Every structure is written in C-alpha cells, then in structure tokens.
Amino acid sequence: MRYQPLPATFYRQARANFMAQMQGNSLAVFNSNDVYPISADSTLPFAQHRDIFYLSGVDQEESILVLFPKAVEAKHREILFVRETNAHIAVWEGAKLTKDQATKLTGVETVYWLSDFERVFQELATQCDTFYFNTNEHYRQAVETQTREDRFIAQCKANYPAHKVAKSNPILQQLRAVKAAAEIDQIQTACDITEKGFRRLLHFVQPGVWEYEIEAELSHEFLRHRSKGFAYTPIIASGNNANVLHYTENNCQCKAGDLLLMDVAAEYGNYSSDLTRTIPVSGKFTARQKAVYEAVLRVKKEATKMLVPGTLWKEYHIEVGKIMTSELLSLGLLDQLDIDQQNPDMPAYKRYFMHGTSHHMGLDTHDYGLLHLPMQANMVFTVEPGIYIPEEGFGIRLEDDVVIQENGAPLNLMGNIPIEVDEIEALMNA
C-alpha cells in the first residue's frame, strides 16, 4: 500500500469497542467489497468497504472478518479470512497478504485462508444463536447493486434459517462517528494534501484554462503525495456550472470575469477530506461577487461556532437557515414579503441555498453518524454553506472540515487553506 496504515492497536481497540456492544451469544461478519466489473474483463479499481477496513485495516479484496466474543475456543473470538496467493496470482497480480503480514497489519491473531471459510463458519454457527449482519443504513444510501455483503447475508439466512439476526450498522454508526486521534491524523494528512493541490491551482487558474485541466493538476498533486486520488468525484464548475450542484463533467473553458467553484479533495489511507473553494478566474472578484462571497463566509464562520458538544444537527440547520436568511435579505436576493409568506417546511432561503450545511466526514466522505444524537467531541463535520444565483451566472460555496472539541470552538483541519478574499487575490496575482 502506498499510505502509512494506522497501528494494529487502533484496529484492536475498534474491534473491542464493537464487541462490547454485541448482545447475547452472537457473532458478526464483515465482508470486503467486490471488485466491480465494467465489461469484458475490465474492472474498476478496488475500493475497500469502510467497515471491514475500520475494524481491521485490511485493504484487500475477498477478505472476511468474523467477531465472536463468546466463541468456544478463544482463538475464534477474532478471525480474519484472506485470499491465499498461488503462483498464478503472484505472477499476474502480485502476492496477497501472508498470514503473518495480515496479523501484523490488523492485530488479528487467527488468520485463515478464504478457502476454509465455509468449513470454519459452519462450526462457529453451531456455537452461536445470533448473527450480526452488516446492512447499509446510511441516511443517504441509494444502492441498487447487490454487494458482496448482501450476497453473504442472503446465503447465510438460507443456510441457517433458525438463527436470530441483529444489526451491526447502528453500532458502527456510533463508533465511526467519533474519531480516534490516529484517525484525525489521517484525515489531517488528507486535508494537507488537498491544500497542496489547491495552492497549486491558485497559480494555474486564468482565463482560458479548461476545467479538466484543473482536474489534471489536482490529480497530479494528490498522487505524488501518496493519495490514491480524489476522495469523491470532483466538481470543477466555472460560471453557471456552479449552479448544478453535482456538476462533474468538468468540460468547460473558464472565462474572464467568471467565478470557479471547486469541490475537490484528496483521500489518504482511505480517509476522505472534503473541500470547497470558489475563486475568481481572472484573479479578482467583482464588487458583487465579493459581497456574496463575504456573506457565505460569514455564514460559514457563524455556523462553525455552533459545532460544539450537545448541538443537535436539526436545530443547527434551523439556526444556520436564519443567518442565511438575514444575509440574503442584505444582498437583496430576498425581501421581507418572501420571509413573511414563507412555508416553514421550505423556507425562502432554500431558493438560494438548497443543501445541508454539514455532514459527518471520515472514512466515507458522507460519513457515519446518527443525526438524531447530539454532537460529541472528536466528531468531524464539514461546514459548507453556499449561495447559488443562476440569474447572475455564478454560485459560491465554501467548505472546510472541522473536529468538535470538548470545550470551545472546533478545530479547523483546513485552517491553512486560503479562504479570505484578500488572501486568494494576493496568491492568484503573486
């Protein structure tokens, strides 16, 4: 792997935390992602499922982790199954993890070959009453494909119809939402790589460059710093493209006088970062662009102050909405009648700011975290207000990633990435 993995002690602790919440005489199973096909013999690059990664650090396809705290044999409390290298695999793909390497990486003492899974699992199944299955309950999930995990669950239910089932997801949602110090370091590294990419762009962007050329610059900078690349599909949106929230074509030429919205960030070691900056293609904001930019920045600063332990995500969004409403009034985008007549379920500000202000960030860009529970120290959130004005030909969003602290304001992991108007203009014209 090209990144520095977390120490095995982190994964041992994560598994202990998970097992401490398992009820009854139960075992839990976590599968790797499939290698997804394109067509013919083409595949997408492998991307590990973040749950087995969180609990083991194993970054290899066809791996299975079993956790069974009350196993009859102590060696079966934690088992990792990995694919055995044979001569063919060694020549064509390179060697897979040996058992020793797998133990060093993950801290799991008992490592079996995948070919032993059916036999071992059958033995374990006779010793337990309940299977914890790892279903996807993310609040934004909309998965239409059957994952390796789904296939396993279906097969397991067919083979063992008398077992009870329980859900791993709520446990993982709570554990993964609160980051360990080592994880925050990994996210900080991703943010620092993102910073290098953004600073490079400040010298590259000028009228006439194409959005995909900017994407290429970022890719170059991310990869040369041991990132696998973008943490999510990059949005590089000049002019009115910024008003298409999920614009990812990145195929237009940047024009003098336009703004350029870039929602672009690196991953590192399977941890995301999530950045948005909006800069003037010509190196200088117009008065109107600057006024809207400063409004977005003020909303971001005020919103950030509210990210403290105890804050409820829903109430936070209502408060941010009020601040945004007052900025939109000052900008002349809304008037008092709009406010007086607004539907409380669809407040007037949503015409110009239609997405959420914050989401959990971590192994997944839209990370785990149960939104009805109060915020806690060491949760990582984005802060990303925006104002989108198609009739004026631009949209502005600003986004940083912050860590909630026990006391006081959150720590901004992107605090070194230029954001003030003067700073951006000075760097673009240096």
d(CA 16, CA 428): 49
Single residue of 149, 263, 400, 425 touching Mn ion by CB under 5 A:
263
Question: Among this protein's residues, is 359 annotated catalytic?
Answer: yes
Among positions 221-240, residues that touch ligand GLY (CB under 6 A) are 232
**Per CB under 6 A, 263 contacts ligand GLY:** yes
Q: Choose the catalytic residue: 211, 274, 327, 367.
A: 274
Is residue 365 part of the contact set for ligand GLY (CB under 6 A)?
A: yes
401 interacts with, out of ligand GLY, Mn ion, none, CB within 5 to 8 A per kind: none
We find the least distance from the C-beta atom of residue 300 to ligand GLY, in angstroms, to be: 13
Least Cβ distance, residue 361 to ligand GLY (angstroms): 8
Other CB atoms within 10 Å distance of the CB of residue 93 = 11
Q: Is 384 a catalytic residue?
A: yes
Indicate whether 274 belongs to the interface with Mn ion (CB under 5 A): yes
Residue 360 falls in the annotated catalytic set: no
- Could you give the CA distance from residue 56 to residue 50 in angstroms, rounded to a whole number? 10
Residue 32 sits at φ, ψ, to 5 deg, of: -65, 165
Per the document, the length of the chain is: 430
Q: Which of 132, 397, 400, 425 is catalytic?
A: 397
Positive or negative: CA dihedral 175, 180, 186, 188: positive
Q: Is 138 in the site for ligand GLY (CB under 6 A)?
A: no
Q: List the alpha helices (DSSP H) in 205-249.
A: 211-223
* Rounded Cα distance, 125 and 402, in Å: 43
384 binds ligand GLY (CB under 6 A): yes
d(CA 20, CA 70): 11
State which residue, 212 or 232, has the beta carbon closest to ligand GLY. 232
- Which of 388, 400, 401, 425 is flagged as catalytic? 388
Which of ligand GLY, Mn ion, none sits in contact with 232, Cβ below 5 to 8 A by type? Answer: ligand GLY
Q: How far apart are CA 217 and CA 207, in angstroms?
A: 16
**How far apart are the C-alpha atoms of 59 and 381, rounded to whole Å?**
25
* Residue numbers 268-307 binding ligand GLY by CB under 6 A: 274
d(CA 164, CA 254): 58
Q: Which of 88, 119, 140, 246 is catalytic?
A: 246
Query: Interface with ligand GLY by CB under 6 A: which residues?
Result: 232, 263, 274, 359, 365, 384, 399
